[in-house]
Amino acid sequence: MECMNAMSLRASSPAKIAAQGFSFQQSLNPVPPKSAFFRLMPQTHMLIHSPFKQLSLPAIKSQQFELKDGSATVSETKTSEGDALKVKEWEVGMFQDEVAASQGIKIRRRPPTGPPLHYVGPFEFRLQNEGNTPRNILEEIVWHKDVEVSQMKEKKPLGMLKKLLDNAPPVRDFIGALKEANSRTGFPGLIAEVKKASPSRGVLREDFDPVQIAKAYEKGGAACLSVLTDEKYFQGGFGNLEAIRRSGVKCPLLCKEFVIDAWQIYYARVNGADAILLIAAVLPDLDIKYMTKICKLLGLTALVEVHDEREMDRVLEIDGIELVGINNRDLGTFKVDIANTKKLLEGERGERIRQKGITVVGESGLFTPADIAYVQEAGVKAVLVGESIVKQNDPSVGIAQLFGKDISS
């Protein structure tokens, strides 16, 4: 399929490059893996063409060659400091993807190859190819997030967020609230999701008032709330998180985001989050490790989400993880199967999780008391539920129906 887009390049600046991807690692690790991400390809560089960012053609005068695999390369005839930084930024991206792939992560963090260019008179076109087209919805979300976050960071740099931290509301104990609810009710502690829409289910609730829904959840006995902050794919927002926090709702709040950059953790904290989601299908081990440390530094709980055995095994190798979510939904295909929770908690793996004292959350596709009993039997101490309760006229009644019992007191 042919897609006609103006040629574009990623915007880069030393600050942006420093703030992207590895910045937090550099700040915490005195010896960053320089050799890896400052490795330069001699003479010839592929250019990144972001499908999301249309920027003016920079001052690289280049000659184009088409490779056998269909990707285009250009050889520079003139370089500047800015151009060199763009190359480095691309290399950081490629390095991240290589590391991620070696850990079984299929989600690429950014379009890894530039599309072939075609010239028709004065116009430049590009063809959609495997390299510049997201493979599934999760990859599309992550690529979009990459652009969104760099724009947000320009408006509110980390230094500004750090100053705002002084006035941020105190953090509440997310895991403590789940455990307390579990021992009080005998059911898994409920993380009730404030979600207007999702890519798999479309709009779940037209009359969506996040504060009203949050209050109903609290009244119905939710231990914690999960607030979708992604605007494009879930019709959520940080405004919702902030408004719920300001409304006086006492349940600790999970910022349900697609985190790809440590900056987002600070941003979540400033906007009233008590916990944040880290998705193992997106983040390599080192990112999870350092982001977990940043969460601890800020007092936030990290909910590390896995979907399969390999992701669970990776996460179990990382020290300091206290809360793990097993998503029953495959975020690439949307297939939901609650047996996934059971599968990942069986045998030696389950034993290891218990030994490590990790609290496990069963996530997605829970609709009935039988579903709750099934994942509880499998070993979860908490559940994360969206659709089945957010769709009810009165979400507090929805909670009672989900558990087959009033769990509010």
Ligand X SMILES: O=C(O)c1ccccc1NCC(=O)[C@H](O)[C@H](O)COP(=O)(O)O
| Least distance from ligand X to the Cβ atom of residue 389, Å | 8
| Least distance from ligand X to the Cβ atom of residue 386, Å | 3
Q: How many CA atoms lie within 13 A of 26 on its CB side?
A: 13
Of 261 and 363, nearer to ligand X (C-beta) is: 363
Residue 363 binds ligand X, judged by CB under 6 A = yes
Per the listing, tokens 């703030």 go with: 19
| Least distance from ligand X to the Cβ atom of residue 117, Å | 32
| Burial class of residue 320 (count of CB atoms within 10 Å of its CB; 0-12, 13-18, 19+) | exposed
Q: Pick the closest to residue 278 from 242, 309, 252, 314 (CA basis).
A: 314
DSSP letters, 320-336, are T--EEEEESB-TTT--B
Distance of CA 350 to the CA centre of its chain: 25
CB 80 within 8 A of CB 58: no
Per the listing, tokens 């069986």 go with: 346
The SS3 call for residue 350 is helix
DSSP state of 276: E
Binding mask 368-387 for ligand X (x = CB under 6 A): ----------------xxxx
How far apart, in whole angstroms, are the C-alpha atoms of residue 234 and residue 201? 10
Binding mask 288-327 for ligand X (x = CB under 6 A): ---------------------------------------x
| Least distance from ligand X to the Cβ atom of residue 191, Å | 9
Interface with ligand X in residues 122-181 (CB under 6 A): 137-138
Inter-axis angle of helices 137-155 and 262-270, nearest 10: 70
Interface with ligand X in residues 190-209 (CB under 6 A): 193, 195, 198-200
| Least distance from ligand X to the Cβ atom of residue 238, Å | 17
User: Of residues 9, 331, 338, 358, which one binds ligand X by CB under 6 A?
Assistant: 331
| Least distance from ligand X to the Cβ atom of residue 378, Å | 16
Residue closest to ligand X when measured from CB atoms: 386
User: Of residues 113, 292, 364, 376, which one binds ligand X by CB under 6 A?
Assistant: 364
| Least distance from ligand X to the Cβ atom of residue 47, Å | 29
Positive or negative torsion for Cα 107, 111, 114, 119: positive
Of 164 and 373, nearer to ligand X (C-beta) is: 373
Of 19 and 304, nearer to ligand X (C-beta) is: 304
Only one of the segments 151-159, 261-269, 339-347, 358-366 lies at the binding site for ligand X (rule: CB under 6 A); that segment is 358-366
DSSP letters, 185-208, are HSSPEEEEEE-SEETTTEES-SS-
Residues that bind ligand X (CB under 6 A): 137-138, 193, 195, 198-200, 327, 329, 331, 334, 363-366, 384-387
